[in-house]
Structure 1
């Protein structure tokens, strides 16, 4: 669904779920050139802190961007600001649910501020924060 800024209201919520795969991690590493050994099953460095390799933060953030672009607001918009805290690692195979809730709307600037909360399949919060987007209009 696609919304105009007039359709939005404080408290509106959208959610999406995703399972991150090893193939996605490899593509992310290739595109970003982030070759940290904590993402690679063949490296041992991650074993000191995690029970398996982790999903890159940028890839996990992709689910948040997907909620913004496909559901809330679901229209052409540009990310202006993001503040995220990664409480727990996201692992390959985790089922992550991203929930975004509108907490402020600035009609004058076309800005929408949303609270972000991401949970794994166990109900543990893995990412928390907020984003601000500007909704683009056809007006000059």
Structure 2
């Protein structure tokens, strides 16, 4: 099978373009992720331990929640290559809590026939509180 090269042009994207994804991380999601990466921090998997923490409830792994940025990049920029991602955790995301992940095109540079997009990345809770924020750079071939 011959793979077709996906090619984007500078004009395919524009500064200010916004991509969104709503998600609820379930207890099963957290268990699967914990088993996959072997992170069994009690704040994620043990109800009693979490109740003794500053958050009082079990929280979703920060890297699991921030994986939504990769999902948004992969689905909206097929073939893109992640160059960089900064992540700042501002508030906990609890199990079964609905969140909205967003990727906003902040800047576009054309370099050697390729586009480098600077993205503003955010995960918000339903009360508008920012849970995760950061920036990413991706390369579009």
Task: Tell me the TM-score range normalised by the shorter chain.
Answer: 0.7 to 0.9
TM-score normalised by L of structure 1 = 0.87
| Structure 2 match to 1:130 | 135
| Structure 2 match to 1:102 | 105
Give CA-to-partner distance per residue, 1:3-50, whole Å, 9 cap, x none: 824211111111111000010101111111111111013442552211
Aligned residue pairs, count: 133
Rounded Cα–Cα distance in structure 1 between residues aligned with 2:9 and 2:94:
35
Rounded Cα–Cα distance in structure 1 between residues aligned with 2:116 and 2:41:
35
Q: Secondary structure at the match of 2:52?
A: helix
Give CA-to-partner distance per residue, 1:37-67, whole Å, 9 cap, x none: 1101344255221121110011101211111
TM-score normalised by L of structure 2 = 0.86
Instruction: Report the aligned-residue RMSD.
Output: 1.8
Rounded Cα–Cα distance in structure 1 between residues aligned with 2:131 and 2:122:
8
Q: Structure 1: state its 5+ residue gaps.
A: none
1:4 touches 1:75 (CA, 8 Å); kept in 2? no
| Structure 2 match to 1:15 | 20
Q: Structure 2: state its 5+ residue gaps.
A: 1-5
| Structure 2 match to 1:91 | 94
Rounded Cα–Cα distance in structure 1 between residues aligned with 2:87 and 2:57:
22
1:13 touches 1:100 (CA, 8 Å); kept in 2? yes
Distance 1:52 1:45, change over 3 A: closer
Within the candidate set 11, 33, 39, 1:34 is matched to 39
* Regions of 4+ moved over 4 Å: none
Rounded Cα–Cα distance in structure 1 between residues aligned with 2:57 and 2:135:
28
